[in-house]
C-alpha cells in the first residue's frame, strides 16, 4: 500500500493553525520525503515515521518554506548515528542552494559518517527519474517564480497514481501530468474572491476546481494554503464546486491518504 502523510499544509506564511507544507510517501518500509519545512524530526516521529526509513528526499524548489528544515534533518541524521547514505533529488539550481546550506551550517564535517548523493532532476516534461519494482516517479516543470516541478507517483501494485503540484500557478505541464490521476494534491493559496490581483505563480480555489475538472481527477486534496482559505472555506469550496463535483479534501497536518 502506498501511503501519503501530510506533515504541513500552509503557504510560506504560516499561522497559529497551520505550518509550512511538506509530505512523506511511504511504501514497503521506505519513506520518500517531499520538501522539508520546520521541525522535521519531531513531525516525522509524531507521524510514526522512522528516520532510518528515509532514503530519498525530493526538494521541489529552493523557496525557504520548502527547504529550511533540511539542515536540521541532516544534523539529526548525524546525531542519530545514521550510517546509510541519503539521496537528495532537486533541480540543478536548488541543489546548489542545498549544498550552500549544508556548508553554511558546517554540516559537511559530519558527512564522513554517511554521504549525501545529489541527484539532478532535469527541467523537462514527463521526466522519469525514479523507478523500482513498486513505484515510478515522474517530474514535470511547474509555473512558479523560481524553477520548480510537480511530481507523479505511479504505484505499480495497483496502477494507481498520485500527483503533487508543488508550488505553481495554473500550468499546462502540471495539468498534463495530472490527467486522470486518482489523487491530485494541489496547492490552493486562497479563494479567487479574496484577492484583487491575478495569481500567476500560485493557484486560487476557483482555478484548482477548473484544473481538477479538466484533468478528470478522482479526488482533489488542497494544500499549501493561506490562513485566508481556512477563514473563507465556504467561499473556497463554492468556487471549486463551480467546476468540480467529485471529492474535495482540505489537507490537515498528519492526515494520511492511501493509493
Ligand atoms: Zn511554498
Ligand atoms: Zn514557492
DSSP letter (8 states) at residue 212? H
Domain that holds residue 107: 3-258
pLDDT tens, per residue, the chain with 259 residues: 999 999 999 999 999 999 999 999 999 999 999 999 999 999 999 999 999 999 999 999 999 999 999 999 999 999 999 999 999 999 999 999 999 999 999 998 888 899 999 999 999 999 999 999 999 999 999 999 999 999 999 999 999 999 999 999 999 999 999 999 999 999 999 999 888 767 889 999 999 999 999 999 999 999 999 999 999 999 999 999 999 999 999 999 999 999 9
* Ligand positioned closest to the Cα atom of 65: 1
* Ligand positioned closest to the Cα atom of 14: 1
Q: How far is the CA of 240 from the centre of ligand 1 (A)?
A: 21
DSSP letter (8 states) at residue 91? -
Predicted confidence at residue 110, as pLDDT, reads 81
Question: pLDDT digits over 159-190, tens only?
Answer: 999 999 999 999 999 999 999 999 999 999 99
Q: How far is the CA of 103 from the centre of ligand 2 (A)?
A: 23
Greatest alpha-carbon pair distance for the chain in Å reads 55
Q: How far is the CA of 129 from the centre of ligand 2 (A)?
A: 22
Predicted confidence at residue 112, as pLDDT, reads 84
Cβ–Cβ < 8 Å for 148, 166: yes
* Ligand positioned closest to the Cα atom of 21: 1
Predicted confidence at residue 226, as pLDDT, reads 95
**In whole angstroms, what is the distance from residue 255 CA to residue 257 CA?**
7
Total number of domains constituting the chain: 1
Q: How far is the CA of 259 from the centre of ligand 1 (A)?
A: 25
Cβ–Cβ < 8 Å for 22, 54: no
* Ligand positioned closest to the Cα atom of 63: 2
* Ligand positioned closest to the Cα atom of 35: 1
* Ligand positioned closest to the Cα atom of 12: 1
**In whole angstroms, what is the distance from residue 119 CA to residue 251 CA?**
29
Q: How far is the CA of 201 from the centre of ligand 1 (A)?
A: 10
Predicted confidence at residue 41, as pLDDT, reads 98
CA distances from 180 to 138, 175, 216 (A): 15, 10, 5
Predicted confidence at residue 82, as pLDDT, reads 95
Q: How many CB atoms lie within 10 A of CB 5?
A: 21
Residue written as grid cell 486560487: 204
Q: How far is the CA of 140 from the centre of ligand 1 (A)?
A: 17
* Nearest Cα to Cα of residue 47 among 20, 101, 8, 81: 8
Q: How far is the CA of 139 from the centre of ligand 1 (A)?
A: 17
Q: How far is the CA of 167 from the centre of ligand 2 (A)?
A: 5
Question: pLDDT digits over 94-116, tens only?
Answer: 999 999 999 999 998 888 899 99
Q: How far is the CA of 46 from the centre of ligand 1 (A)?
A: 23
pTM, full prediction: 0.97
**In whole angstroms, what is the distance from residue 101 CA to residue 120 CA?**
17
**In whole angstroms, what is the distance from residue 47 CA to residue 253 CA?**
9
CATH code of 53's domain:
3.60.15.10
Predicted confidence at residue 102, as pLDDT, reads 95
Amino acid at each position: 500500500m502506498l501511503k501519503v502523510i501530510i506533515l504541513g499544509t500552509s503557504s510560506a506564511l504560516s499561522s497559529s493553525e497551520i505550518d509550512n507544507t511538506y509530505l512523506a510517501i511511504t511504501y514497503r518500509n521506505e519513506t520518500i520525503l517531499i520538501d522539508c519545512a520546520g521541525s522535521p524530526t519531531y513531525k516525522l516521529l509524531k507521524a510514526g515515521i522512522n528516520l532510518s526509513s528515509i532514503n530519498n528526499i525530493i526538494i521541489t524548489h529552493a523557496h525557504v518554506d520548502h527547504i529550511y528544515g533540511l539542515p536540521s534533518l541532516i544534523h539529526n541524521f548525524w546525531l542519530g548515528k545514521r550510517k546509510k547514505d541519503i539521496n537528495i533529488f532537486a533541480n540543478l539550481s536548488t541543489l546548489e542552494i542545498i549544498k550552500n546550506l549544508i556548508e553554511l551550517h558546517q554540516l559537511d564535517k559530519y558527512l564522513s559518517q554517511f554521504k549525501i548523493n545529489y541527484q539532478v532532476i532535469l527541467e523537462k516534461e514527463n521526466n522519469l527519474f525514479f523507478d523500482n519494482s513498486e513505484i515510478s516517479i515522474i517530474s514535470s516543470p511547474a509555473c512558479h517564480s523560481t524553477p520548480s516541478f510537480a511530481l507523479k507517483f505511479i504505484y505499480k501494485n495497483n496502477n494507481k497514481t498520485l500527483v503533487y503540484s508543488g508550488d505553481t500557478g495554473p500550468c499546462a505541464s502540471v495539468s498534463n501530468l495530472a490527467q486522470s490521476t486518482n489523487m491530485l494534491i494541489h496547492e490552493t493559496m486562497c479563494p479567487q474572491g479574496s484577492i484583487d490581483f491575478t495569481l500567476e505563480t500560485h493557484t486560487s480555489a476557483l482555478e484548482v476546481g477548473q484544473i481538477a475538472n479538466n484533468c478528470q481527477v478522482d479526488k482533489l486534496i488542497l494544500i499549501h494554503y493561506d490562513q485566508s482559505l481556512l477563514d473563507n472555506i465556504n467561499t473556497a469550496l463554492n468556487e471549486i464546486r463551480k467546476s468540480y463535483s467529485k471529492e474535495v479534501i482540505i489537507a490537515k497536518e498528519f492526515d494520511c491518504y492511501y493509493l
